[in-house]
Amino acid sequence: MAVLFISDLHLEESRPQISALLLRLLNGPARDADALYILGDLFEFWIGDDVLTETARQVAEGIRRLSDSGVPCYFMHGNRDFLIGTSFTELAGLELLPETLVIDLYGEPTLVLHGDTLCTDDVEYQAFRKQVRNPDWQAMFLAQSVESRLNIAQQARDASKQHTAGASMEIMDVNQKAVIAAFQDHDVNRMIHGHTHRPAFHKHVLDDGSEARRTVLADWYENGSVLWVSEAGQSEQSLEVTDQD
């Protein structure tokens, strides 16, 4: 048995093959898991639970089937789908998690998070994040028409692409001091996150001299990727797009 972790799927209507990969996971290997954690950016964008695309409906049904089979499914907001609310999570059988959480992973306390809060060198993004996570801003946004929300979302996506293209790779990655602080603030020596699209396994030395381990999850832009964690250790499994997807 194992706990599965995925993030940064960025699902949308234009990439049905990636949604099919997720459904293949949900209907197959995930049925034997102890739990499934989705650590943010399940969708490319989200303008409200009242606007469900066909992709969102299919994904919700797939996760619900897994949850109903007895596998607990958890979701944490990312920087693209932070407006997912209780209507969708209840439909999908997901438990909505706070933005940072320490879980007991086979006896080892483990910090799980999306990862964007660790990118403190990206001052422009952090200012944007603070704005859109404000409940007043969210209420204002959700009160607008669907057309207006779609336009704002498209503008935000375009701005994000321009910002990503113009920013240095160092600024877009995590800040090492922020990483060490997260380990120490939560009193853990293990961390799992996504967001940066730079899958890797890192080792850090904390102020007390102890070793800490940080696993960065892969994105799902070209293929799928799942982190399997068991009592015996952890491994990454790739899911390849096939002609049937």
Domain locations along the chain:
3-239
Contact 6, 36 (CB under 8 A): yes
pLDDT tens-digit map of 154-185: 998 888 888 877 676 777 899 999 999 999 99
Question: Is residue 123 helix, strand or coil?
Answer: helix
Contact 71, 30 (CB under 8 A): yes
Report d(CA 186, CA 109) in Å as an integer. 9
CATH of domain 3-239: 3.60.21.10
Average pLDDT across the chain, whole number:
95
Question: Given this model, what pLDDT does residue 166 score?
Answer: 67
pLDDT tens-digit map of 63-94: 999 999 999 999 999 999 999 999 999 999 99
Quote the DSSP letter at residue 201: E
| 125 pLDDT above the threshold of 80 | yes
Report d(CA 118, CA 104) in Å as an integer. 22
| 242 pLDDT above the threshold of 90 | no
Contact 215, 192 (CB under 8 A): yes
Q: Residue 188: enclosing H or E segment and its boundaries?
A: none
| 244 pLDDT above the threshold of 80 | no
pTM over 0.85? The answer is yes
Question: Is residue 1 helix, strand or coil?
Answer: coil
Report d(CA 191, CA 224) in Å as an integer. 21
